[in-house]
Structure 1
Amino acid sequence: MRFLLFALHAARGPAPRRTVLQATTSHYELNQELSRARAPDELLQVVEARAPDFNAVNAATALQRLATAKLRRGERARGAAAAAASAVAALAKNDETWADPRPVASSSWALAKLGLSLPDLLVRQISQIAPRMSGRELSTAAWALATAQRREATCGGAYEAASLRDTRHALERCADAGARVMDALSGRDAATIIFALGTAKVKRPAALKALCRRLADPSVDWNGQDVANSCWACASLDADAPRLFSAAAAFVARNASQLEPRGVATLAWSFAKERQGRSAAAARASDDAVALKALAVRAAEVARFFDARSLALASWAFAVAARNDLIEPSDACFQSLERDAVARLAPGLDARDLAGVAWALASAGRADRASYEALASRARALPRKAWTGRALANCLWAFAVQTSGCAALPLAQDLEKAVVELAPSLSVRDAAAICWSLSGIAAGRGVAFDAAFGAVADAAQNFASGEGRALANLASAVVDMYGDDSGGLADNCLDVRRILDAVAALAVPLAESSTLEPRALAALAAAFAACRAAAPAPRLMAALAAAARDAAADFQAKDLVAAADAFARCGAATPVVAAAVRALGADAAGRAQAFPPRLRADLCRALAAVGATDSPFFDSSAAPRDRLLPPPETSYAANTTRVQILEVVPYSSLFPGDDEVE
């Protein structure tokens, strides 16, 4: 073998000598040399030797060729450093060739493509000449500004990277310039500028509105990538772009069968995200439904080609669409995702995407055991540092409510250590979802997640704010896990009462300002009534009672009875509590037939407990007065009134930097 290698080397002859470059001062000749350099090492030699003589066109040509040449990373960095240093030096001397927008845009694109920061002088030049750029130059520069690396990638200190402030200002200037010449923009250029704004999280409402109006023009050509990029950006920025989404819905209805897998996932996510809290979307419900159904059909066809992020985004989007009755939860797309994507991609999912897929499947009521087991296996294999509070919350919630038969307890026990580590930084919302899920998983199994609840109790003093549903679930979780038959908390000295104290402190102002929804109000009252010996919270119960008294007509039957029952059991014999029970009974009298027999009996018992036997509900109810029993002295299970957390958690980014301006 050695002899054969020697013979081949001898036959090839000695390595060719490196060309000795002759001096030249012609920038045209420099460009010719750069263009003629075919071999990567020859290109590098020309760049390193000639960089001090480059003008703007030479520097742009060199950087573009380096960005596409097959060079090793170190060699590419050397060439880029030389070319970029030359550009910065020329810009510092106010070289007039850099007043031409073309090399400025091309150099910016190449540096971003090379994974480098943009020099500060180059970014300032973009800001200065943006009004003179063509549509393609604006879109190229905008893409580079949005996707280039930040301050750490500067070719070993060859130049000073632009600040975030200067970068955002330059991008805003490009967007404004694009809006001014929007009638001359192609669909690709308008979509790229919009994509750049979304990637950089730069809100420029006037410019964005104009660019979206351009894309909505029927005369503008755009392809699936343009549609996906622009819709994603507007959804990410929470921009009001009804005309864009109407045009996108029409495009999808016509061309869904031609969309690439990532385009399917991106568009599905964009439509689902844009509908959140957007009243204007209601007028487009039928159009959006058609688009989402077309995307679901296409997703079923291409699920086997999805990557991890596409799986997470598509499953989330279709789960949200199913909850909004835009597609059927049992649609073939879910079956295809379970069959062709989940198990295949689960081993490579990161914590965020894994939690997103699990949440989506559980939210859509899917019960494919193999999918959940694949996700559980991956979740148990992830290191604890990979988890965030939101990812833990979504993952545990999904496994707490899924009905596939997959064992959730081993996963919850493995993830408990991650909960303990993250507890000091958990928001109330995430702490509530985690504790609610753990209490549900532990129910009836004779286990307790002491470490997790203890860590949350230690961190409860950090809770600064929380919305009603989260507070209700957190209180219910504590009672479900540790409530005993005497109305106290058997918490093995964990002092989880600190959690309830924190919940009460946050819930009082919500109750006093009447901002608690009835379901959350009823759940909070039930939880605190169930553990009144450990945490009576008289101010909270009084505030809840006053809020319930004033909003009795807003309660559904189950919540109304739960609230009245809780007030009657809480032991706070105050006029406001009795008045609340009376008000709930009076409102229920007008709709007594909506109350099943058990709820009627419970409400009558609550009324009797506060001495309200003259309530009109008795005349409307079939429950006889002489069989009413006083409320028991012991506590009761509060889990029947827990508020299920079905929060939609949008992703903050999507395929950053994948799309290029050619």
Structure 2
Amino acid sequence: MAAAQGDHCALLSIFSSSHPCFNDVCFATLMSRLGRLPKRDAAAAKRDERYRTLLAMLPAIVQEGGAQAISNIAHALAKLEEQSEESGAVLDAVEERADWFVDQGSPQNIANAAWAFAALNRHAPALFSAIDARADWLVRESEPQHVANTAWAFATLRLDAPALFPAINERAHWLVNQSKPQAVSNTAWAFATLGIAAPTLFSAIDARAEWFVQESKPQEIANTLWAFATLRRDAPALVSAIEARADWLVRESDARAISNTAMAFAELSASAPNFWACLERRGEAFAARANVQDVCTTAWALAVGGRTNTNSGLLRLLWGEAMAAGDGAISAENVSQLMQVGLHAQGDGVKLQSAPDALKQKMLEAAADTTLTSSGRFEDRVARYLTDLGLKHTRQYPALGAKFAGYLAVDFAVQANDGAKTVLECDGPLHYLHGPLGEGAGRETGPTVAKRRLLERRGWRVVNLPWFQFRKLLREGGGEAVKRWLAKAIK
């Protein structure tokens, strides 16, 4: 079959004439050859009636075949992007043998099959449950790439893996030290997509940041930084390494990678001056290939990152592109982002062109409709302490006026003794990155810093009470200690 491996007609002719003599290995080899065809040839093969006959025979092969053959067949179907009823029957046959397959297959067999199901967006509860049941063995015996592919498959299908992901985190240093950058990036992406904290993994990645950024493709870097930001995991070394290669990254990245990198910098409260300067120099080229989502997200990141004055030329360019797109092309999320951009630009004294009336109305509606958040019991207790101190206060106060009540309500507006307009924010764990002080007790996130900056531009004095500071005060001196802290902070 080797002589025909690049010719779909020859491959299917061999099948047509010889399949009565085929065993499971022959069928799997034929499928693998078809799966490696160039897209045009693969599409032609899929239109051939002989190919349909081949697909119809595969469920029986899977029901009797070995683990290697089953894995190769499933992998080939994914490579061929095969979504037919016939291929569904093949995958159903794999699912029926899931326990046996995972018990008998090698880590590579299992990883390839999991990848195939995920690539075809095919849920297979028995297969993935069986994989998770053998997670410790799989991670211990696999190559790093197989571990990464398996994690990617679970995340792509949004499947819980209570054993797999802790096992990966436990062996994080091995994975990061032995993997290629793509495997590291895919693994980080998988954890972030499922919202699974992995302190060992992300610390290991940050420790090898220079190697990772030097050896990775731009998309891998963007995805990994996005993973850090999504999990609010501080990444000082990774940010520094990306900054050092910012010109290359901006030059070589596609628009989505640039947008995701910008968003991550903003979420991580990383100023990234080199990145923004490089992007401003290439702003026209970026805008020419970016879609409206990328434009709006990048403008939001620039504003939240406090770069509206320093990179005002880039901001005006992005804003103009968004205005030209028209309100019908802008999603509700992007409308909310543009509303925030406009507020930050106004607060920093940067004049932007007026939004069209329809878009302006949507931006105002976004400001009014954003869901209010509250720190719950934390905020309730602080309210009692303010009352005990005789400090008049209003909860969920619209600090920028009633029309922005949804977007920028503050926890407390307090009438301070010195008469200053004072805001008190009770900041829970979501306002902080995971850092050296513990989970959600590191540096402030970018949006938290940006909110304070905006309030201060509007004449408010802002007092932030972190949740971990509040708990420390309670441990050391109870409510009286908290009241002393509030009295001193608010004056």
Q: Same fold (TM over 0.5)?
A: yes
Counterpart residue number, 1:571: none
How much has 1:309 moved relative to structure 2? 1.7
For normalisation by structure 1, the TM-score amounts to: 0.53
**% identical aligned pairs:** 21
Counterpart residue number, 1:335: 277
Residue 549 and residue 208 in structure 1: after superposition, are their counterparts in 2 closer, same or farther (change >3 A)?
Answer: closer
Counterpart residue number, 2:102: 130
Counterpart residue number, 1:319: 266
How much has 1:83 moved relative to structure 2? 2.8
Counterpart residue number, 1:246: 203
Counterpart residue number, 1:84: 55
The alignment partner of 1:205 has SS state of coil
Q: 1:207 & 1:599 partners in 2: Cα distance? A: 51
- 2:115–2:149 CA contact under 8 A, matched in 1: yes
How much has 1:549 moved relative to structure 2? 5.8
Counterpart residue number, 1:379: 322
Pairing 1:65-464 to 2, within 5 Å after superposition = 65-70=33-38, 71-72=40-41, 74-78=43-47, 80-91=51-62, 94=63, 96=64, 98=65, 100-117=66-83, 119=88, 120-150=92-122, 164=123, 167-217=124-174, 221-275=178-232, 288-321=235-268, 323=269, 327=270, 329=271, 331-340=273-282, 342-367=283-308, 368-382=311-325, 386-402=329-345, 405=350, 407-410=352-355, 412-415=356-359, 419=362, 434-435=366-367
What are the ranges of 5 or more consecutive residues in structure 1 without an aligned counterpart?
1-31, 151-163, 276-280, 420-430, 437-455, 457-462, 470-509, 519-546, 567-579, 601-638, 644-662
- 1:343–1:375 CA contact under 8 A, matched in 2: no
The alignment partner of 1:366 has SS state of coil
What do residues 387-418 of structure 1 show as CA deviations (whole Å, max 9, x unaligned)?
432222113322342358463423x535358x
Q: 1:222 & 1:140 partners in 2: Cα distance? A: 17
How much has 1:372 moved relative to structure 2? 3.0
What do residues 567-606 of structure 1 show as CA deviations (whole Å, max 9, x unaligned)?
xxxxxxxxxxxxx99xx77xx5xxx4xx35x659xxxxxx
Q: 2:338 & 2:319 partners in 1: Cα distance? A: 9
Residue 409 and residue 201 in structure 1: after superposition, are their counterparts in 2 closer, same or farther (change >3 A)?
Answer: same
Deviates more, 1:181-190 or 1:219-228: 219-228
How much has 1:369 moved relative to structure 2? 3.9
How much has 1:73 moved relative to structure 2? 5.7
Q: 2:171 & 2:304 partners in 1: Cα distance? A: 37
Residue 27 of structure 2 is aligned to residue 59 of structure 1:
yes
What do residues 177-235 of structure 1 show as CA deviations (whole Å, max 9, x unaligned)?
34323222111111221122222211212211112323323795111111111111111
Residue 49 and residue 468 in structure 1: after superposition, are their counterparts in 2 closer, same or farther (change >3 A)?
Answer: same
Q: State the AA in 1 paired with 2:117.
A: L
Aligned CA RMSD, in angstroms, stands at 3.8
- 1:256–1:294 CA contact under 8 A, matched in 2: yes
Q: 1:564 & 1:404 partners in 2: Cα distance? A: 26
- 2:243–2:272 CA contact under 8 A, matched in 1: no
What do residues 327-354 of structure 1 show as CA deviations (whole Å, max 9, x unaligned)?
4x252112122323x4323233334333
Q: State the AA in 2 paired with 1:467.
A: L
Counterpart residue number, 2:428: none
Counterpart residue number, 1:467: 372
- 1:108–1:144 CA contact under 8 A, matched in 2: yes
How many residue pairs align between the two structures? Answer: 401
Asked which structure has the greater CA Rg, the reply is: 1
What do residues 261-317 of structure 1 show as CA deviations (whole Å, max 9, x unaligned)?
112211211122222xxxxx5xxx5xx312221123233432111112211110011
What do residues 338-393 of structure 1 show as CA deviations (whole Å, max 9, x unaligned)?
323x4323233334333321211111122334433443344345475644322221
Which structure features the higher share of strand residues? 2
- 2:145–2:179 CA contact under 8 A, matched in 1: yes
Q: 2:17 & 2:372 partners in 1: Cα distance? A: 64
Q: 1:101 & 1:61 partners in 2: Cα distance? A: 13
Q: State the AA in 2 paired with 1:183.
A: R
What are the ranges of 5 or more consecutive residues in structure 2 without an aligned counterpart?
399-411, 423-457, 463-491
Q: State the AA in 1 paired with 2:115.
A: W
